[in-house]
Chain A
Amino acid sequence: MENVPAFSATEESGRKKFALPVDSEHKATEFRLFSVAAPHMRAFHLSWISFFACFVSTFAAPPLLPIIRDDLDLTATEIGNAGIAAVSGAVFARVAMGSACDLFGPRLASAALTLLTAPAVYCSSIASGPSTFLIVRFFTGFSLATFVSTQFWMSSLFSAPVVGTANGVAGGWGNLGGGATQLIMPLGFELILKMGSDKFTAWRIAFFIPGLFQMLCAYGIFFLGQDLPDGNYAQLHKSGDKHKDKFSKVLYHAVTNYRGWILALTYGYCFGVELAIDNIIAQYFYDRFNVSLHTAGIIAASFGLANFFSRPGGGMLSDIVARRYGMRGRLWALWSVQTLGGIFCIILGKVGTLGVSVAVMLIFSVFVQAACGLTFGVVPFVSRRSLGIISGMTGAGGNVGAVITQVIFFRGSRYTTEKGIMLMGVMIIACTSVITLIHFPQWGGMFTKPSKGITEEDYYLSEWTEAEKEKGFHKASLKFSENSRHEGGRRVGITESPDTHK
């Protein structure tokens, strides 16, 4: 006894209704970068651009610090604390965002967060001392939780064969903001200065650039985006097409899945490391090799700009190895790339000449960012019911890693920065080794074979009780199980291709 929903497409007209080929859940099975067709590719472009804007806002202060630290009379410790605050806010915001996506949908969740954090960016203009500076950086950092809505949205719109690529490109091009801001903010500052402002006023006006950018992105998402191929959450809830889940159940199935916790830890040692480097690398090159602040900024920007291809590359690599080796291939690729990142990090801490250091830093950035992309090739498969919170936990783990790493290695004068970088590399290798413990009963793990007789349905439907199954709440998980069958590797998947004509 179901209402006939006004907004869903019937299966037979599925092919005609969407610009891209889709599977039985109407998720796109192809990723076409230069298309803006609704709903899939349009959502992709909206989400990576707004995530980019949030990164620009969160790291808008570092390139202007030489001016800000004089205006607000900051000490080195106060600057360090503000940097830690900028990445620690998102720890809880990311988990909260995960729940919000599960309950309200990524479109409303990300538009809401982007609008709620825009005031923090605007109010950076009226910061008057170290404490107000720390507060605005803390609240601006909450906007990094839009990462979770980006990954959730891509995982809801793109099918298993391309989900790693979609997540990787969206995440990578968003992360670009951390590099682009090192160029955008100084440029904006210079232009405002030329128009006749004082230095101590020009940096304040410059913060309106990321603030306005964020606001525009929120408007774009709200009016042009769509949660799912078949419509928005609110409409689908009312029409009965999508069951409105209970928060307590979603949370329970997320925290009891050990794989979510392992990925949260390892993400802290690829993405967390990336955030820590974003905060300290310009100063490192400025102090150790005595380059000018301008040059240090360019070097710092190039670290973040490598995200243009390295994180998407990680996502694509995940999808490519999955075609042949399934989930086991994804796990092996993730472990090897991230461990290599750790090795290059150790080397970075050891080299003493400028040219070699920049080269090693670039190689290190490629591996560490590709590992981020590879992580989110695995995350969509950990849970179907609690996808949002698992994405949120993993994302939050990234920020926790950033906080821990900066507090242990890059605060105060216990370690020189180069020793801190080397030790960080050792910690990356150690923490990455827990990936070996991940085991999917239906597909296996790095060193374990799939458990006999367990299918994808057994794994994903175990998240629903019999009572819930009777009411038909589990239908989306059922479709997802079918579509993820080829994660078992080449010998299993190809013959059972996604069915669009049932």
Chain B
Amino acid sequence: MAIRAFLIVLSCLAAATCRGATFSSLQQTLIVTASPQPAQVLKAGEDEITVTWSLNSTFPAGVDSSYKTVTIKLCYAPISQKYRGWRKTVDNLVKDKTCQHKIVANKPYISSSSNNTFTSTVLRDVPTATYFIRAYAQNSEGDEVAYGQTTDSHKAVNLFEIQAITGRHVSLDIASICFSAFSILSLFGFFFLEKRKSKASESK
């Protein structure tokens, strides 16, 4: 088990040093729009998001020659990153934690189509936070080469919220309370039994 852990550690180190793509090196060549309105609150597991992406035609033709797949993610807005270091924005894309939830994963990139659309329900493990949407274009190795996002470079406009599922169920609440009550009752039972035993030994 120690050896396995050591190998995992080694491979993580290797991965970190091999892929050094940074966000600042990416070109913003994609235009991304999404269905959520600014300040709209979506419910996880219920509401749907429709994302549309296309190549920005102001860029010279051929800029997308290396784009093979597209991945679209939900990304945390700065207000949801505050005081939460595990969502920090870092330039090195391998270490960047801004976008942790995938909406579309590795969909083939079709350059001729100008209106790529995808609709999906917000997954049930998305936490309550403020988000924007970003699309990454990837090359054949899977490395990011370009991006587009629904907000501006300061990540200040066009943000929407998602309300997570609570994870609590009535059955869980009842089970917790029943087991807790059972514990306390057992304790009283113990004291009662103990008193009875000691009375018995006194009368012997």
A and B: interacting chains: yes
**A residues whose Cβ falls under 8 Å from a Cβ of B:** 6-7, 66, 69-71, 73, 75-77, 108, 111-112, 115-116, 118-119, 122-123, 125-126, 128, 198-201, 203-205, 208, 211-212, 215, 218-219, 222, 232, 234-235, 237-239, 287, 290-292, 294-295, 298-299, 302, 354-355
Q: Check B13–A70 contact: CB distance below 8 A.
A: no
**B residues whose Cβ falls under 8 Å from a Cβ of A:** 1-2, 5, 8-9, 12-13, 16, 82-86, 95, 124-125, 127-129, 164-169, 172-173, 175-177, 179-184, 186-187, 190-191, 194-195, 197-199, 201-202, 204
Least CB distance, B95 to chain A, in whole angstroms: 6
Least CB distance, A212 to chain B, in whole angstroms: 8
Q: In the complex, which of the residues A71, A115, A126, A239 contacts B172, with contact meaning CB atoms closer than 8 Å?
A: A126
A199-B167, A204-B167, A291-B12 provided; 9 other pairs, C-beta below 8 A? A73-B129, A76-B85, A111-B187, A115-B184, A200-B166, A205-B172, A219-B186, A235-B201, A287-B85
Q: Check A108–B190 contact: CB distance below 8 A.
A: yes
Bound Cα distance from A237 to B201, whole angstroms: 10
29 contacts between A and B (CB under 8 A): A71-B164, A76-B84, A108-B190, A112-B190, A115-B183, A115-B190, A116-B184, A118-B183, A119-B180, A122-B177, A122-B179, A125-B175, A126-B172, A126-B173, A128-B168, A200-B124, A200-B166, A200-B167, A201-B167, A201-B168, A204-B172, A205-B172, A215-B183, A234-B194, A239-B201, A239-B202, A294-B8, A295-B8, A295-B12
Least CB distance, B91 to chain A, in whole angstroms: 14
Q: Check B124–A115 contact: CB distance below 8 A.
A: no
Q: Check B172–A69 contact: CB distance below 8 A.
A: no
Q: In the complex, which of the residues B8, B82, B164, B195 contacts A292, with contact meaning CB atoms closer than 8 Å?
A: B8
Supposing A126-B168, A198-B167, A295-B9 touch, asked if A119 and B183 sit within 8 A by C-beta, the answer is: yes
Q: Check A299–B5 contact: CB distance below 8 A.
A: yes
Least CB distance, A230 to chain B, in whole angstroms: 12
Q: Check B5–A298 contact: CB distance below 8 A.
A: yes
Q: Check B179–A71 contact: CB distance below 8 A.
A: no
Supposing A215-B186, A292-B8 touch, asked if A6 and B83 sit within 8 A by C-beta, the answer is: no
Residues of A within 8 A of B164 (CB): 70-71, 200
Least CB distance, B128 to chain A, in whole angstroms: 5
Bound Cα distance from A119 to B8, whole angstroms: 38
Residues of B within 8 A of A238 (CB): 198-199, 201-202
Q: Check A200–B125 contact: CB distance below 8 A.
A: yes
Residues of A within 8 A of B83 (CB): 75-77
Residues of B within 8 A of A219 (CB): 186
Supposing A71-B127, A73-B128, A198-B124 touch, asked if A122 and B176 sit within 8 A by C-beta, the answer is: yes
Q: In the complex, which of the residues A66, A77, A128, A290 contacts B95, with contact meaning CB atoms closer than 8 Å?
A: A290
